[in-house]
Every structure is written in structure tokens, then in C-alpha cells.
Structure 1
Amino acid sequence: MMRRDTRKTRAVSAGLLAAALVLTGCGGFGQREMDPETRRQLEQSGALAPRDRDTIWDLFNNRDDPNVTVEVNRYLWQASLEILDFMPIEAADPFSGVISFGYGTPPGGGQAYRATVFVTDPALEARSLRVALQSRGGAVNRETARQIEDAILTRARQLRIRDGRL
């Protein structure tokens, strides 16, 4: 009995694999061409693969330059770590630009906070940084989060100026 079920499972798996291969071979039959300006914007944002990638297998060719794959501002990244050093780091991903901090109490403060920092752009600009701040009691005033953003931006500019003197 067990042997028959195994054969049936293998047959179903083989059939699903064959169907998947056939479907991946089907190109864009019946699809309209995208507006060139829309395509360019989507390619630049990374939401759409460039035209030189025709199939899913082209993603594994590793043609990307390793020096430009991390696209976050290093000064904002470092400044975030320095300004929020009283909080433990729970997760950090330089490829997506996200740093998640656990609860920590600032020096001289009595309330614990946790934060998530999102560095969205390689430019050293205010629009490249977003900080979400939360206390154990819930959401924190937006002005408090903005003060943290300002402190990070100020420190990032100081780091940039220091490196410019080398």
C-alpha cells in the first residue's frame, strides 16, 4: 500500500514539474507593452528587472557589480548606530537599509524606547532617513522621532566632514 502511494506522489510531482516548465516557457502571449517611461522608472527603483534579464534564470548570472549592490548612505548608517547606541541591535540589513533596535533607556531618561531606522537612499539628505520610535506604552510623539532623525543627520554630516579632511 505504501509503495503505491509513493508512485502516485512521484507521478503527481513529475506532472506538476512538467506543467511549471511549460508555463515558464510561455512568454508574454496576449500582454501589452508597457509605457517606456513607466518601465524606466520601475527599473530604476528596482521594482522591475532590467530588459537584459529575460528569464528568471538570468537573476542567477551574478552580473551585478558588488560595489554598488548596497545602496544606503554609510554616514547615515553609522550615525544611526552611534546615536542609538543605548538600544540593543535586534537586526540590521545593509542591503535593505533597515536597522531594528530593541528597548533601551536613553542616558538620563526614565522611559524605554525601541526604534526602527530605515535608510532609503545613498544620498546624505533628510529624505533618505526614516525613524519609527515606540515606547512600552505605545506610539511616541512624531516630534520626538523627528528630533532623533535630526540628531542622526547632524552626526552623519559630522562624519562626512571628518572624512573630507583626510
Structure 2
Amino acid sequence: MIKTAKARRNTRKLIVRGIVIGTMAVLATGCGKKERPKADLAASQVTTIGVNSYLWRATLDALSFMPLLQTDSNGGVIVTDWYANPKNPGERVKVTVSIVDQDLRADALRVAASRQVSQSGQWVDAPVQAATVQKLEDIILTKARDLRRAAIAG
């Protein structure tokens, strides 16, 4: 019986030592922290396309009223065809949007616009106000942020 009691004490010591070492290992590796919420899957780089998916969808949504000429989700380029507002048929606009990063950041978006006006039946290039391009960038970025918030909340 003496050997059995001694063996039990040694077994208990080994078990306690193993639990202490295991707990210390878990704490040292950070696994004892709470898991990140599943909403983190909505991070800006979670995408099946080559660019930020929120910027991509927001751009398509913002330009949905214009006919599209080219879309390349891997390269991040969207080019519209000429669009004339029915209220102002003597003017038309063409937009090119480039998404240059996988992060949801303002500098990951590049918008360029061309404008033409009709003069004597011919389309003539005209300047685009910088505020017009800036406003379109703001619309796209706001939509992208809203999409991301909705993905996190949902």
C-alpha cells in the first residue's frame, strides 16, 4: 500500500505540473484571450477579387446609372461609356475608376472623368471641375464604408 500511495502522489504531482505548464503555455501564446468576433471576416482584405470588394461594389453602385464599357475586378478598373443627362443633352461625361489597393482607404481609389459639350453638332472636350471628381470619390468611399459596416453588423 505504501508504494501505491507514493505512486498516487507522484501521479497527482505530474498531473498538476502538466496543468500548470499547459495553462502557462496557453497564456504565453495569447490563446487565453477572447477570440476575435466573427464580424472581423468583414475586414477590408477579405475578397475573392483582386481589389477591395467594398470599394468595388460601391463603385459599381455609384456608377449604376451610367453604361459600362469595361470592368476588370482583378485589375480594379471600371470604365463607363459616355453618359448624357436627359436634363442636359448637350453635355456628356465619361468616368474611369481605378482601385489600386486591397485596403479600404481613400488613397486606394482613383477617379478620372472626361467631359464633352456639343458645339455645332460636334462633341468638344471641356474641363471637368475638380469638385465633381472629389464628390464622386466621396460618394464611393461613403458607400464602401456603409457596406463594410453592414457586413460587420450582419
Q: How does 1:45-84 map to 2 (within 5 A)?
A: 70-84=49-63
Query: Residue 106 and residue 81 in structure 1: after superposition, are their counterparts in 2 closer, same or farther (change >3 A)?
Result: farther
| Structure-2 separation of matches of 1:113 and 1:88 | 11
TM-score, with length taken from structure 2:
0.58
Query: Residue 153 and residue 107 in structure 1: after superposition, are their counterparts in 2 closer, same or farther (change >3 A)?
Result: farther
| Structure-2 separation of matches of 1:98 and 1:86 | 17
1:162 to 147, 150, 154: 150
User: Aligned residues: percent identity?
Assistant: 37
Question: Match for residue 36 of structure 2?
Answer: none
Q: Which has the larger radius of gyration?
A: 2
Q: How far 1:70 moved relative to its partner?
A: 3.7
Question: Match for residue 153 of structure 1?
Answer: 141
Residues paired across the two proteins, number? 100
Query: Residue 120 and residue 81 in structure 1: after superposition, are their counterparts in 2 closer, same or farther (change >3 A)?
Result: same
| Structure-1 separation of matches of 2:92 and 2:149 | 32
| Structure-2 separation of matches of 1:152 and 1:78 | 9
| Structure-2 separation of matches of 1:126 and 1:108 | 31
Moved over 6 A (4+): none
Structure having the higher strand fraction is 2
Segments of structure 1 that go 5 or more residues without pairing to the other structure are 1-66
Question: Match for residue 128 of structure 1?
Answer: 108
Equivalent residues of 2:47, 2:53 under 8 A apart: no
| Structure-1 separation of matches of 2:103 and 2:85 | 28
TM-score, with length taken from structure 1:
0.54
| Structure-1 separation of matches of 2:96 and 2:88 | 19
Equivalent residues of 1:104, 1:114 under 8 A apart: yes
Segments of structure 2 that go 5 or more residues without pairing to the other structure are 1-45, 117-124
Root mean square deviation, CA, Å: 2.2
Question: Match for residue 93 of structure 2?
Answer: 113
